[in-house]
Structure 1
């Protein structure tokens, strides 16, 4: 006898169909929020290239694991000539196989093409994404190029900076920014990509030409003028000695001055950078000296080094601050005298009114439509203004030209 049809309520034949839950009609936007912890070390050290010192061999590696036996090391021709043999001997002593890339130095070579040369070297080296930190040994131009390449290659490779110039030790080598020049503009392409660590060894300064020592002293003077009056006093008292001894501490007084100056300069810069590493706030004290200088530097490249352009900017804004009553004439004259004692220019033929106005306009675009111009108030503190006029700039430039003529 045929089986009677079962009731739809009979659980043995009921099928449950789950339909997709409709999205709320009002949902058209999703907010994605994430945080990434950033931590890197800046280490003031000595005897970095002594094979008995394993700091460089282990830099940027996992402390729990044995350091990898390969490295890609990028340096520049001058550094290779002066330190290439010692670098090779160091890595050989630590059993590290090195793939070298040597780049041309100088701001005029800080280009996308240089970045691509680094990328091609990394590619041919078969570098893994995390285990073999790239090592950059050179000045600020070199560390910027390598940092930018590492930030783009496979969306991020660890790297280690070994700055060999004073400007690299106290400024370019210790921050998070990378960049290259493009279209005639300073650092128009770049990223925020800090190294695993920066190893600061003042011994490299022993071979630095006097002009390049002055170049770095400009960035130290910047920190002193807006953040650290005792540092300014150090430069005023010991600046010529620091240049003469190349920060090598050949005398007890020079050793004290070199150690204290480097510690205060590096510490002051990092204290200012750390809470605003990605420049969410565009009012930055360490932008002092960097309002007119980018355009000046690039327009007369390679006649001006970066620090020399910064010095011209600081001289100009020091005079403007004095004209506004933020500095006394005595303080103004002290600042200009210290800059000159450090071997820095305070005026230049490029400081024409038309170029200075163009430079300020470019800075306004860079700072999101406002001047945000740092001016020193007293020595060791700063104020930001947004109402600087062309007449003020022209007057300050004229004062410096006349002062230069009277000192000639």
Structure 2
């Protein structure tokens, strides 16, 4: 009896004798390649990076040789438009770009399918070409996720370019393959894997970023330092406060510790993402800080920013690592003190047993029935565990609450 399930035959083998095939296995490979690069002064009209990013070869050649004008839809976050709208328009005019600028308010409470539909409507109204007119997204991580999801759905795959304007966008949200929006009480529950054709990283945007949002991004940098790059941790320990105060000022021109901090953070993130871009392997060290934080962030909205929730998660798991002998008390305190110096929280009233238990249960479902929980080993390494107990979580939260109480008392004494 002939096997009635086959891979699709080559043309030469289409017509063969015997019973007809009634089941097939289709197998193909889709190569993925995308660019992430630092692009200082990306809005300088003489800088071709933005107009050529993501363009097909012919379109890029025409735009740089003064031929036919290019077309671009630019989706710009509302606050970014207030600060940079005139410069974006001047860039487009100087580079002969026929453009529409669609201004989109974007923050965590607006990270919904409704925002995705608004971007899709703007794409439809613009009449975007399917392959040679990448959408340009300019804004923070929330906007980049919204535009990425819209582009993944529109005509089933539309190219786009990311220009992150926040620190968390530069080192985290802007460099991976995932898109996503919130659904119900769940963070990023709806999403796709659809990397941008290009991501242009310009640290000069940080000059207009608020102090809290700089600290917010520092949490994702600290994550990489804690689980894979001791040198990056040491750089934050030595220079982190000054980098926040100066808004990475020297980095915009290149050089200095801020330049190395950003480069190491992006490299470390991409080094982990590249071999597992579609997350077939669910043990991911870059999930560090993301076991309890999704639930904490969504339940606290709008009180906690993403990086602040990640910091709470890392503080909890740092204490758990100390309880298990994976790190010593001096390193534990060094980590917690650095978080405080970077103005990141180490405790929040939501860090109570019921909420943390719910958070861990949701993470277990997300990771196919196992905890797969990364814990730091010292500083710069990590291990995965599947046996974290409720009592460990509770005792870690209580220790952090006491740590916070002592810090608050000392602060009040200094200002008395």
State whether TM-score is above 0.5. yes
Cα 1:251–1:173 change in 2 (3 A) is closer
Structure 1 gaps, min length 5: 1-18
| C-alpha distance after superposition, 1:185-212 (max 9, x if no partner) | 0000000000110000000000000000
How far, CA to CA, are the matches of 2:144 and 2:326 in structure 1?
37
Residue number in structure 1 paired with 2:25: 31
How far, CA to CA, are the matches of 2:313 and 2:86 in structure 1?
39
Kept in 1: contact 2:315–2:346 (CA 8 A) = yes
Residue number in structure 2 paired with 1:122: 123
Residue number in structure 2 paired with 1:83: 84
How far, CA to CA, are the matches of 2:170 and 2:321 in structure 1?
29
Residue number in structure 2 paired with 1:61: 55
Residue number in structure 2 paired with 1:12: none
Residue number in structure 1 paired with 2:337: 337
Residue number in structure 2 paired with 1:51: 45
Residue number in structure 1 paired with 2:179: 178
Mapped pair 1:402 → 2:402: yes
Structure-1-length-normalised TM-score: 0.92
Deviates more, 1:310-319 or 1:98-107: 98-107
How far, CA to CA, are the matches of 1:71 and 1:251 in structure 2?
26
SS at 1:190 equivalent: strand
Cα deviation, residue 64, structure 1: 3.9
How far, CA to CA, are the matches of 2:123 and 2:22 in structure 1?
42
Residue number in structure 2 paired with 1:352: 352
Structure-2-length-normalised TM-score: 0.91
Cα deviation, residue 103, structure 1: 1.1
Kept in 1: contact 2:92–2:99 (CA 8 A) = yes
Structure 2 gaps, min length 5: 1-14, 64-68, 409-416
How far, CA to CA, are the matches of 1:77 and 1:193 in structure 2?
24
How far, CA to CA, are the matches of 2:370 and 2:136 in structure 1?
38
How far, CA to CA, are the matches of 2:261 and 2:312 in structure 1?
22
Equivalences for residues 259-278 of structure 1 within 5 A: 259-278=259-278
Cα 1:107–1:251 change in 2 (3 A) is closer
Residue number in structure 2 paired with 1:7: none
| C-alpha distance after superposition, 1:64-120 (max 9, x if no partner) | 442452111001110000000000000011111111211112100100000000011
SS at 2:238 equivalent: helix
How far, CA to CA, are the matches of 2:72 and 2:110 in structure 1?
24
Equivalences for residues 157-306 of structure 1 within 5 A: 157-249=158-250, 255-306=255-306
- List, as ranges, runs of 4+ consecutive aligned residues in structure 1 with deviation greater than 4 Å: 19-22
SS at 1:90 equivalent: helix
Kept in 1: contact 2:203–2:251 (CA 8 A) = no
Kept in 1: contact 2:203–2:252 (CA 8 A) = no
How far, CA to CA, are the matches of 1:250 and 1:223 in structure 2?
19
Root-mean-square deviation over aligned CA pairs = 1.6
SS at 2:331 equivalent: helix
How far, CA to CA, are the matches of 2:52 and 2:251 in structure 1?
30
SS at 1:30 equivalent: strand
| C-alpha distance after superposition, 1:196-229 (max 9, x if no partner) | 1000000000000000000000000000000100
| C-alpha distance after superposition, 1:258-286 (max 9, x if no partner) | 11000100000000000000000000000
SS at 2:102 equivalent: strand
Kept in 2: contact 1:71–1:97 (CA 8 A) = yes
Kept in 2: contact 1:42–1:199 (CA 8 A) = yes
Residue number in structure 2 paired with 1:10: none
How far, CA to CA, are the matches of 1:250 and 1:329 in structure 2?
34
SS at 1:232 equivalent: helix
Residue number in structure 2 paired with 1:16: none
* Residues matched between the structures, number: 387
How far, CA to CA, are the matches of 1:293 and 1:33 in structure 2?
38
Kept in 1: contact 2:294–2:309 (CA 8 A) = yes
